[in-house]
Amino acid sequence: MIKLKFSLVILLGACSYGVLSSILKIGFSNGFSFPELLSGQFVFGWFGLLLLVLTFSRYKVSLKNILSLLAVGTTMSLTSIFYGLCVKELPASIAIVLLFQFTWMGVLIEAIANKTFPSREKLLSILILLVGTVFAGGIFEGSGDQLSIKGITFGLLAAITFSFYFFASGRVSTEVPIISKSFLMATSATLFVCLIYPPTYLINGTLQAGLWKYALILGFFGVVIPGICFSIGVPKVGTGLATILGAAELPTAVIASITLLNEFVSPLQWIGIVCILSGIFIPQMLKVRKNKRQNFFSEDTVEN
């Protein structure tokens, strides 16, 4: 039951990420560039976490933990940068399929780190997720566009950095309070993004022209909520399960595109969404049933 609670927290963080693509598209349609929106997302998200730290946290973080969390934070920014570059080179449907390779990558990283073979439930979940991702991404409905090697590379790099972010979130400085941990990771991520995409909008009038609205929403859903949720949930459920739960981002992205952008979703994409949701929940239900059965037999043995 406790594990279910933390799984729901991770689902909330993943769903929060899923909203971002639609907000970005709305920002693009209103004349703002990807560097402006991405930089604004991290700057506003960082200020949001700073306010939370100043209000609720008095914990003194050791230098070792500070350096570790700053290092982890770079994976947040690298994922956003690589994925943005991938979307520039490839159709969105292909880009999302490449990003979602992080599901099996995360399970593989956990297996190597723990020196254990993934459970049957996790392997079943990954198989269903991969099938669902291909359908939900609309990869079978493309127009046969030439795929850019550069775009594929950026997409796979985004998947790798995202899986390492999940892994590190559950392993690094777990004793540091959630808000302080999220703030430190966001600090290095923000600095890294601002080095790549300098926040010139702060002085050229773009912020006052309307960018602030998108930066505020993107910062909340792309930095504050997922940073806190993953810091809470991943250490409790493990990297492998966390990456599987993170797949909830794609169905959320598709649903957000329907409600916010009025985009059409084909029957095949709906099948993919159902597959992804099944890949998240069915293996967990099987695991719960298995644990209940084991507990029943152990109690029966004790009574006899």
Residue 197: burial class (beta carbons within 10 Å; 0-12, 13-18, 19+): buried
- 195 lies in some domain: yes
108 within a domain of the structure (yes/no): yes
Task: Name residue, tokens 């995360």.
Answer: 106
User: So what's the pLDDT on residue 144?
Assistant: 46
Is 59 inside any structural domain?
yes
What pLDDT is attached to residue 282? 74
Residue 34 lies in a domain: yes
Range of the domain at 256: 2-118+144-264
Residue 143, pLDDT score: 44
Q: Is residue 43 part of a domain?
A: yes
- Pairwise CA distance, residues 109 & 164, whole Å: 8
Average pLDDT for consecutive 10-residue bins of the chain (304 residues)? 78 87 86 91 94 86 90 90 83 76 85 84 83 76 65 90 87 85 92 93 89 93 90 82 81 83 81 83 69 60 54
pLDDT of residue 302: 52
**Number of domains observed in the structure of the chain:** 1
Is the residue at 132 inside a domain? no
Structure tokens at 284: 């967990």
pTM of the model: 0.82
- The pLDDT, as a whole number, for residue 43 is 94
219: in domain: yes
Which token pair is 221?
């859903």
Q: Which residues contact 301 (CB under 8 A, 6 or more apart)?
A: none
Q: Report which of 97, 82, 57 is spatially closest to residue 231, judged by C-alpha positions.
A: 57
276 is a domain residue: no
Q: What is the 3 state secondary structure string of 94-137?
A: HHHHHHCCHHHHHHHHHHHHHCCCCCHHHHHHHHHHHHHHHHHC
